[in-house]
């Protein structure tokens, strides 16, 4: 976990690309069950994270997704994608397209900057 407040927690998915997951603190299954405050906080986090991923990593695309078939708790994935990553243009859980050798700036510095902005 890299950040939390009363409404959400942020976790890192350790992969070759920058990938953050935003979870509600409450154990609810559907976005429609979120309070207005939770929804606003989720979108505030997504907005800040996307902008920082674009500027810090110079990402080709940011993927934002919400699905919870295996983990039925409201959470969002925010991923910086690169045309040279191993799966592009497939999703990160799709078929691997190539062996990637991305040369990205420090993830730890990014996480620290993100935490400071939140």
* Residue 77, token pair as written in the block: 């994935």
Q: Is 25 helix (H, G, I), strand (E, B) or coil?
A: coil
The pTM for the full model equals: 0.92
pLDDT digits (tens, 9 = 90+) for 40-80: 999 999 999 999 999 999 999 999 999 866 677 899 999 99
Q: With cut-offs at 50, 70 and 90, classify the pLDDT of residue 13.
A: very high
Q: Of the candidates 86, 106, 110, which has an alpha carbon nearest to the alpha carbon of residue 96?
A: 86
Give the helix/strand (H/E) hosting 11.
strand 8-12
Mean pLDDT of the chain: 94
- Do residues 48 and 10 lie in contact, with contact meaning Cβ atoms separated by under 8 Å? no
Is residue 113 pLDDT above 90, yes or no? yes
Domains of the chain are 3-117 (3.30.428.10)
């Amino acid at each position: 976990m890299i950040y939390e407040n009363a409404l959400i927690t942020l976790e890192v998915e350790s992969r070759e690309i920058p990938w953050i997951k935003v979870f509600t603190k409450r154990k609810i299954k559907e976005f429609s069950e979120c309070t207005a405050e939770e929804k606003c906080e989720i979108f505030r986090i997504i907005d800040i994270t996307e902008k920082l991923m674009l500027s810090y990593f110079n990402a080709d695309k940011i993927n934002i997704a919400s699905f919870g078939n295996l983990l039925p708790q409201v959470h969002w994935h925010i991923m910086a994608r690169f045309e040279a990553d191993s799966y592009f243009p497939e999703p990160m859980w799709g078929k691997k397209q190539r062996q990637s050798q991305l040369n990205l700036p420090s993830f730890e510095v990014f996480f620290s900057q993100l935490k400071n902005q939140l």
